[in-house]
Structure 1
Amino acid sequence: MSLSAIFFLDLKGKVLISRNYRGDVDMSKIDKFMPLVMDREEEGNLSPILSHGGTTFMYIKFNNLYLVTTSKKNANVSLVFTILHKICHVFQEYFKELEEESIRDNFVLIYELLDELIDFGYPQTTDSKILQEYITQEGQKLEVAPKPPPAITNAVSWRSEGIKYRKNEVFLDVIESVNLLVNANGNVLRSEIVGAVKMRVFLSGMPELRLGLNDKVLFESTGRGKSKSVELEDVKFHQCVRLSRFENDRTISFIPPDGEFELMSYRLNTHVKPLIWIESVIEHHSHSRVEYMIKAKSQFKRRSTANNVDILISVPSDADSPKFKTTVGYAKYIPEQNQCIWHIKSFPGGKEFLMRAHFNLPSVEAEEAEGRPPISVRFEIPYFTYLISLFSSFYREAKNF
């Protein structure tokens, strides 16, 4: 990767803190960064990679900060952005919020972290749990200077040795988000599932866990293509996963970190039906008012329940005097967003509910010119995933237990 330096800037481009790793780029080069960003913004050609005089700037914007790296070499850009986001995550673990004020309040600690995260421009220890074992927010005393844990130099750098629990437990959660776009005729224009497998591990010693996948690649290679399987895309694993084992037999084999972590994330381009179906009828009355009739129907099994359902309906910008009537939940008008929200706390499967909304409307013609943005639906369904058959097996091998 070979980074030359890293800078934390405020929104005006003022350097809050910086670290020079290689000394091959003049630190004053950062003065050229904000003018380059402003020029690109005016041209409408803003890019996270900028160049000036043989120096490459790679940056991300996080809250009210710019995290900028400089390099004169042919750096691995993907790795650069990965380490920048990892730095944000580590700092959030330490400070809860990463913003200008937390940077100013933690100068000494940040320098310590930057020295451990990156060494001579190359990523080193990026696991916040390991870092917190020897870099604390309590200050250090010279006579009891902490020693880095052995995990820093071990092959398994994400887990410390000697961990013991009275009760050994493993918890696994599959969390999926369904992104769906349906047109007015009821046809699905776009659908995808974005998922993550999160784990909480409380095991003694150095256990090895294995997770079997009902993966389409595996079934086709073994002549079982007709079996119930899934085709995963954009799979990203935690660093603990043995990638060679996964490539060979699609088994996820790993020695897990202690505590909570994300094992993998994935995406599925697959056709799915809307779990909550929305129908709308809009009636205009004598160019002075408009009424909405929204019908919501749950299209999942009765044993499941959707929680915290929010149905967002766009209304004309000049609408006023809202009146609502719902069969369940409540509705409210948010004028600053030109929307009304119908909130249903609990929506059981196989149910159907109605909401009517009435608005005074000085100018119906204006509404027609603005168009009708799509109705959006947000909800959560516990214990429900499209990929119920994602995992075929799960077992552990105890080592040093």
Structure 2
Amino acid sequence: MSIDTIFILSQNGEILAHRIFKGLKRKDTLPEFYTQFVQFFRGTNADKEYPIIRIKDALYPFVTFSDIIIGAIVTEEIPVLQLFATLFLILDVLKASFPNESSEKLKQNLHTIGIMLDSVFDYGYPQITQKHVLESIVRPGGIIEKIEEKIIGRQNVQKETVSLLEKYIDGQADVREHSQYRLPEIKGEEEVYFDVIEFLDCVFDKNGRILIEEINGEIKVDCNLSGLPELFVFLNQTNQFNDYTVHECLLQKIDTYERERVLAFVPPSGTTTIFYYNIKGISIRPPFEFIPKLQFINNQVKIEFLLKNRPVRGQSYAVDEFHTKLTVPSGLTLGETEMAQGTLQQLENAILWRIGKLEIDSSIRLAVTFSSTEDQFNIIQQGNFLVQLKFVVNTFSPSQTKIDKVEVRNGAKVLTKKARNIAKSGYYEIRLN
């Protein structure tokens, strides 16, 4: 399978990046492609289908992300799904490297995006390239910036950069083990940081009974160590994990974890999630209590929320960020509101209460009133009233999973090691009726 051109456009038609492999004038057809995209695809779920535009003898398959269009130009028969798999690979790399960002952010990193495209295609032929390798090339603070930091001020910069990249990407025989996600030549700041992040998934019915209750956790490492160090991470408890998956850097010593419950690995450069786990059958007690109240009175719907901070296992925690979204049936009009803290934003059939920080030992209240016509009121009472919570609690571990100790072998004698816990909402829903 060979393509003529790979391109990335902004949603206003500006060419952000491209590589031409054959057909030098193919780039000149991109304005016509953009015209047809605006006419037939803008405003649709094009990114959830397999959209293709035809211009004369060429096909233009593409995918979209935020205000970015990623596409290819092909003039020969190809396996369509294989090509879309490659486009989605590029899409996933950009999503992971620039989350919630626009084309303006990509413009600041065009040189790394170009190198990433060169790694994906060889004269128009897609190559088998691992996603995390591409991410390490293109993301801000990634491998390209590390190479630039390493060789800045030297002569033959371009030659040295290309040589180092070839070793890193192609995996030549003389490159040492683990080089697919580390550059031993780069000297780091001799720091390694860990985040144990737990996402709380809970669903409650109108009587407060728990329908779903589980924790999905992940351990992230931000490694800025030199050479090829080996890390040994000791967790305080692992027997409560119902399931787990690991980054490939742990696969060579997965028996160490299964036998001793110790994570042993050579860490990738930069930030990587090395371990995922799932916990079911555990009672989740967040450091707050959320009490909703729903009333139907004379063609009006009155809803009240009481949010109170509370200690967990004898210790108090501030909730660093708290948002509440209330979704209501259509046909309701927002009326009076009483709010002691935060801001209220009205959405379509919903309101968003941005509370901000919930301090220790504090409590806040929100009361809202909706009204409807008399003929719609009975239908509205049968509709769904849902509350979704979004929150972040630093230094808190719902499952009490923590990193007890980290050992670094083959590393610098003096280095910094730190670990912290963070709790976040996953899918946290309360059904009011």
Q: TM > 0.5 between the two? A: yes
Give the counterpart letter for 1:84 in structure 2: L
Whether 1:244 and 2:256 are equivalent positions in the alignment is no
**Aligned residue number for residue 266 of structure 2:** 255
Gaps of 5+ in 2: 168-174, 414-433
Distance, in Å, in 2 between the alignment partners of 1:77 and 1:47 is 11
Alignment equivalent of 1:312, drawn from 325, 334, 350: 325
**What are the residue-to-residue correspondences of 1:56-95 with 2, within 5 Å?**
60-69=63-72, 72-73=78-79, 75=82, 81-90=88-97, 92=98
Retained in 1: the 8 A contact 2:8–2:69? yes
- SS of alignment partner, residue 85 of structure 1: helix
CA distance 1:140–1:214, change in 2 (3 Å): closer
Distance, in Å, in 1 between the alignment partners of 2:218 and 2:356 is 26
Whether 1:200 and 2:226 are equivalent positions in the alignment is no
Distance, in Å, in 2 between the alignment partners of 1:343 and 1:400 is 44
More displaced, 31-40 or 381-390? Answer: 31-40
- Listed one character per residue, the Cα deviations across residues 244-264 of structure 1 (whole Å, up to 9, x for unaligned) are 322674454332345x40232
CA distance 1:311–1:108, change in 2 (3 Å): closer
Distance, in Å, in 1 between the alignment partners of 2:37 and 2:105 is 27
Distance, in Å, in 1 between the alignment partners of 2:375 and 2:313 is 42
Alignment equivalent of 2:306, drawn from 286, 295, 316: 295
CA distance 1:80–1:146, change in 2 (3 Å): same
Superposition deviation, residue 184 in structure 1? 0.8
Percent of residue pairs identical: 16
Give the counterpart letter for 2:92 in structure 1: H
Give the counterpart letter for 1:115 in structure 2: D
Superposition deviation, residue 310 in structure 1? 2.7
Distance, in Å, in 1 between the alignment partners of 2:44 and 2:64 is 19
**Aligned residue number for residue 380 of structure 1:** 392
**Aligned residue number for residue 175 of structure 1:** 197
- Compare relative contact order (CA 8 Å, sep 6+) and give the higher one, 1 or 2: 2
**Aligned residue number for residue 371 of structure 2:** 361
Distance, in Å, in 2 between the alignment partners of 1:243 and 1:7 is 36
**Aligned residue number for residue 278 of structure 1:** 290
Superposition deviation, residue 174 in structure 1? 0.9
- SS of alignment partner, residue 375 of structure 1: strand
Alignment equivalent of 1:163, drawn from 183, 187, 194: 187
**What are the residue-to-residue correspondences of 1:8-23 with 2, within 5 Å?**
8-11=8-11, 17-20=17-20
**Aligned residue number for residue 185 of structure 1:** 207
Distance, in Å, in 2 between the alignment partners of 1:215 and 1:78 is 39
Distance, in Å, in 1 between the alignment partners of 2:96 and 2:354 is 34
Distance, in Å, in 2 between the alignment partners of 1:392 and 1:58 is 50
CA distance 1:209–1:117, change in 2 (3 Å): farther
Distance, in Å, in 1 between the alignment partners of 2:67 and 2:148 is 25
Give the counterpart letter for 1:389 in structure 2: T
**Aligned residue number for residue 222 of structure 1:** none
Whether 1:324 and 2:338 are equivalent positions in the alignment is yes
CA distance 1:395–1:195, change in 2 (3 Å): same
Alignment equivalent of 2:231, drawn from 202, 209, 214: 209
CA distance 1:163–1:9, change in 2 (3 Å): closer
Give the counterpart letter for 1:244 in structure 2: Q
**Aligned residue number for residue 421 of structure 2:** none
Distance, in Å, in 2 between the alignment partners of 1:374 and 1:58 is 39
Distance, in Å, in 1 between the alignment partners of 2:89 and 2:195 is 24
- SS of alignment partner, residue 386 of structure 2: coil
Superposition deviation, residue 163 in structure 1? 1.8
**Aligned residue number for residue 266 of structure 1:** 276
Alignment equivalent of 1:114, drawn from 85, 104, 117: 117
Retained in 2: the 8 A contact 1:36–1:50? no
**Aligned residue number for residue 241 of structure 2:** 230
- SS of alignment partner, residue 91 of structure 2: helix
Give the counterpart letter for 2:215 in structure 1: I
- Listed one character per residue, the Cα deviations across residues 136-184 of structure 1 (whole Å, up to 9, x for unaligned) are 9xx999975452264741341422426265xx44321112222322111
Superposition deviation, residue 29 in structure 1? 10
Distance, in Å, in 2 between the alignment partners of 1:273 and 1:21 is 55
Whether 1:335 and 2:339 are equivalent positions in the alignment is no
- SS of alignment partner, residue 147 of structure 1: helix
Give the counterpart letter for 1:86 in structure 2: V
Distance, in Å, in 1 between the alignment partners of 2:37 and 2:279 is 38
What's the TM-score, normalizing by structure 1? 0.69
Retained in 2: the 8 A contact 1:331–1:340? no
What's the TM-score, normalizing by structure 2? 0.65
Superposition deviation, residue 196 in structure 1? 2.9
Distance, in Å, in 2 between the alignment partners of 1:97 and 1:331 is 26
Superposition deviation, residue 358 in structure 1? 4.7
